[in-house]
Structure 1
Amino acid sequence: MKLIGIEEHFLTEEVCGAWKASGLEAKDPSIAFNSGVIKRRLFDIADERLALMDESGLDMQVLSLTSPALHGLGPASVGMAQRINDGIAEVAARYPSRFQALATLPVSMPDEAANELERCIKSLGFKGALLCSGGAEHLDSPGYFPILSCAETLNAPVLIHPGAPDIAVRNAYYSGFSPEVNTAFATYGLGWHYDAGIQFIRLVLSGTFDRLPALQMILGHWGELILFYAERLAAMDRVANLKLPLASYLRENLYVTASGMFFSHFLDRAVAIVGTERILFSTDYPFQYRTGNEARQFLETCHLSENDKAAFAHGNWMRLTRDRSTAN
């Protein structure tokens, strides 16, 4: 059974240099996680990556630039995004059975970002785009609307990847301990995931999906916590003044992926909320990589039917991204 991981990351020296030169490296504590063996694996788009894909049982990776991507890098990010996307397109063309890609976008330049997304989908054959949570600006702000509108027009899904919460949020909620604990608490311990999930809920509450009803978003880590509070979120229906009940947006505008969290009870919860047709597989390479055949073992031992296993492994992704290069 073909197994496609849709949240699998890379990094380049140019991006590392831009993070440092812009001062972002000093502001975003999560950038420091891209070091040692993780950094080596992020940089490698061939030999070691392919070997570890084979070891884990993953047939294909959908490549995306790791957080914070090009958020906050200004006008210089336009040319950088084009170079990154062209480079990844070359990799995907060299290994067409092993790699696909999500577009890297110069998000601080919304119109240029929309143009780049269109180029990536129509000319480069990319399957969607990645946006990061975190920072002072939310994804429902007007600056992101051209990107989201373009994504809907192109039928291109958008993965909301966790990013470090704004410094004010980190100071208010994730401080008071040692620097190491503060950083962990604000990022992979909890803060990343709350922030990413909140971005999707803000898109719902702002009416973005009422304006862009065909827009499809993806959340990693089994929905970045929001699926576990679906019943409480639904209580906002009486005040939200939306076209649909909030639960409908979870089932009509959201896909969720595993991100290497191979827990059967999380899978069960995702299926209960969004359905078997909206679950996607991923390993969150290289951050969640574990040796052995664990990825395929999780697929083989989960208690989905054979048809639903195939949908989870590859079918839902292929259906979601079908004919994207011919969108108009």
Structure 2
Amino acid sequence: MKVIAIEEHMLPRDILASAGIDLGLRAGKRAAQLDDVGEGRLRIMDEAGIDVQVLSALSYFVQDLEPEQSVPLHRGLNDRLASAVAEHPYRFRAFAALPMTDTAKAVDELTRCVDELGFVGAMIHGQTNGVFLDDRSVRPILAAAARLDVPIYLHPAPAPLVVQEAYFSGLAPEVAACLSTSGWGWHAECGMHVLRMVAAGVFEELPDLKVIVGHMGEGLPFHLDRIESMLNPVVTGHTLSIAETLRRNLYLTTSGYNTDAPLLCALSAFGVDHIMFSVDHPFGDSARATSYLRSAPVDAGDREKIAHGNAESLLRI
């Protein structure tokens, strides 16, 4: 069975150092693995039975930078991603990293990455300096993705500082760092971000825009019926309901989730055609993820869709 993993991170240490950025408590422990887009990564893929990784820069560390620093830095990240793909064209593809503090330059960079470098979409890490993707100022970026017919992978990122202070202060630093990110906060933040986009009419204006979220849907499958019954009555004037919009425009990946209950919930809420395999390398265990994929309670045809078929269709791999 062919396996394509599509939330697989990298971050070159030299580019990070040039920007004066510290990876912090959690990602800092994975610096060497994030930096490796060569033999070490390929060995992990081979041992786990992963044929292709779609690489993405873990760029929330630099997404908030001012344009004069952000634009060349993101171009450098994308050039490095392109080099990795060129060196191993049958093993890697890439999502573009975008300089979100300069909308026009972000559109240019997305266009360059897709048209010239062959990237399969872009990854955006949450809000940028408090600006979410429903804001009119970033609509040209989303319109460019729709025009280019590539998806935006919306990855979680730390909440605005005021939220972090309110929710996560008073805890031990390592506990706060985890609880505010992968331990809970990221998933609530990202699910809410998607709902902002729906409620604000982004998908009404751009019905062909495709958005991917990881971590088995960032809680949205579990809450979908409640969202539909509570939020839908107050979001008026749309051609589709909240749930209908999500089922049309949103795609989910399995990144970091390797048990039956979340998978079955996602399948029930969104259907197999909108679910794709991911590991969340290097934060997820590739061997564990593929082992679960092969034993998950789905039939052979659905397993093939999740493993590679849906990614091949959406990303044109």
Give TM-score, length-normalised by structure 1: 0.91
Contact 2:59 2:97 in 1 (8 A): no
Aligned to 2:217: 223
Equivalent position amino acid for 1:259 in 2? S
Aligned to 2:48: 56
Equivalent position amino acid for 1:2 in 2? K
CA distance in 1, matches of 2:200, 2:309: 31
1:1-328 mapped onto 2 (5 Å cutoff): 1-17=1-17, 20=20, 25=22, 31-36=24-29, 38-75=30-67, 76-134=69-127, 135-235=129-229, 236-241=231-236, 242-289=238-285, 293-322=287-316
CA distance in 1, matches of 2:55, 2:105: 21
Equivalent position amino acid for 1:78 in 2? V
CA distance in 1, matches of 2:144, 2:201: 17
CA distance in 2, matches of 1:119, 1:130: 15
Q: CA deviation at 1:185?
A: 1.5
Number of aligned positions between the proteins: 313
CA distance in 2, matches of 1:196, 1:18: 29
* DSSP 3-state at the match of 1:164: coil
Q: CA deviation at 1:18?
A: 5.4
Q: Using the aligned pairs only, state the percent identity.
A: 36
CA distance in 1, matches of 2:25, 2:66: 21
Q: Which runs of 5+ in 1 are unaligned?
A: 324-328
Q: CA deviation at 1:142?
A: 2.0
Contact 1:62 1:99 in 2 (8 A): yes
- Report Cα offsets for 1:11-50 as digits up to 9, x if no partner: 01344235536xxx5xxxx7432223x1100001001100
CA distance in 1, matches of 2:242, 2:35: 40
- Report Cα offsets for 1:167-222 as digits up to 9, x if no partner: 11011122232222222211111111111111111100000000000101011101
CA distance in 2, matches of 1:12, 1:143: 30
- Report Cα offsets for 1:300-319 as digits up to 9, x if no partner: 11121211111101110111
CA distance in 2, matches of 1:232, 1:67: 33
Contact 1:57 1:295 in 2 (8 A): no
Give structure 1 regions of 4+ aligned residues with deviation exceeding 6 angstroms: none
Q: CA deviation at 1:60?
A: 0.9
Equivalent position amino acid for 2:148 in 1? L
- Report Cα offsets for 1:120-152 as digits up to 9, x if no partner: 111111000000114522121122211111001
Say which is worse superposed, 136-145 or 221-230, in terms of deviation. Answer: 136-145
Contact 2:5 2:277 in 1 (8 A): yes
* CA distance 1:67–1:91, shift in 2 (3 Å): closer
Equivalent position amino acid for 1:184 in 2? C
- Report Cα offsets for 1:237-274 as digits up to 9, x if no partner: 11101221111112101000011311121111111111
Contact 1:162 1:195 in 2 (8 A): yes
Contact 2:11 2:59 in 1 (8 A): no
Equivalent position amino acid for 2:203 in 1? F
